[in-house]
Structure 1
Amino acid sequence: MRVLGVDPGLTRCGLGVVEGGGGREVRAVAVDVVRTPPDDEVAARLGAIADAVERWIAEHRPDVVAVERVFSQHNVRSVIGTAQAGGVVALVAGRAGLPVAFHTPSEVKAAVTGSGRADKAQVTTMVTRVLALDAPPRPADAADALALAVCHCWRAPMAARMAQAEARAAEVARVHAAKVAAATRRRAR
């Protein structure tokens, strides 16, 4: 599975592509950060992010796009910009026919470091180790994008198995309810 991880942001938007094999085997394919000038209009900045994501999708051909889910922060302007960038990424991926998965920061941290409360330095250290990189990805947005992609590679198979199990359980419950209803109708006659 090839995953494009995106750490959305208006000023710095991290992009990282990771390829996952069986189990926990992952390798880095590419990483970069899209920067937009804070003085530019928001529409132009979002357009630059959209253009970059389109290029990455065309060049790296991911199977899925993993985006960091926006969480509440004290800086409302930052949250709004992050949400706008994440929405643009989801739109571009959807138009390319790719599924989009959202992961919370704590999910990503827990998957990569073992702790949902890890700091950025710990995430960068573990991403560097897990992907056997020669140097830590800089800035932190690049490491976060790779961490998102790794998280998705590791969590997606379990999520798929859970969804299959839930679907089977729902079908068993539906069949059981139909049998109970039929038995009730027979007794009422």
Structure 2
Amino acid sequence: MVQLPPNTAYQPQPTYQPHPGYQPAPQHQQPMPPASAPMSTSAKVMLALGITACVMPLLLCGGCMLIFSSIPESRPRTAMEIKRDELNSERWAYVYDAKDRIKKSLRSPSTAEFDCDIRDSRIEGDYATVTGKVTAVNAFNAPITSSFRVIYLRDPMKPIEVTFDGETIVLDAAEKAHRDEKHETTESLQE
């Protein structure tokens, strides 16, 4: 309830009076839909069966896909496929090791971006070679791209020569000499 100050009379506010010629727009009232009758038990059963008939095939297909996707392929792998997979695995091992060795020699190893993958590795007889490029920030904070090559003895996996940005570092002189001698012999036989 509103408290009025003493000695003031209540004065009602004037109500809104539309213009004498104003005609309100006709109101379009939509008819109320008829109240639906409660569903009978048989209608509820039919609805449940319809929903089940739609959902069950989806669940069965999904379950079958999960079960059958974990079953290995039916045909055994050929010896050539097994050899190829082993060789690719070995080549990746050389690539990762070469990247790690080159990264350790950089001034800012965290900025290294390599352009080198399994296609840049070669396995020939007892030796493996990985070549590639690396871009890293130098001492002047400028990105520099350098090329590298790492030559490995395959068994055991042991680097014998690293060439980085034109400079060659021989890690195992005896093995390098043996490799070069073997390489020269192979080239002379091919001529």
Name the TM-score class by shorter chain.
Answer: under 0.3
Give the TM-score normalised by the residue count of structure 2: 0.21
Structure showing greater Rg: 2
Give the TM-score normalised by the residue count of structure 1: 0.21
Structure number having the greater helix percentage: 1
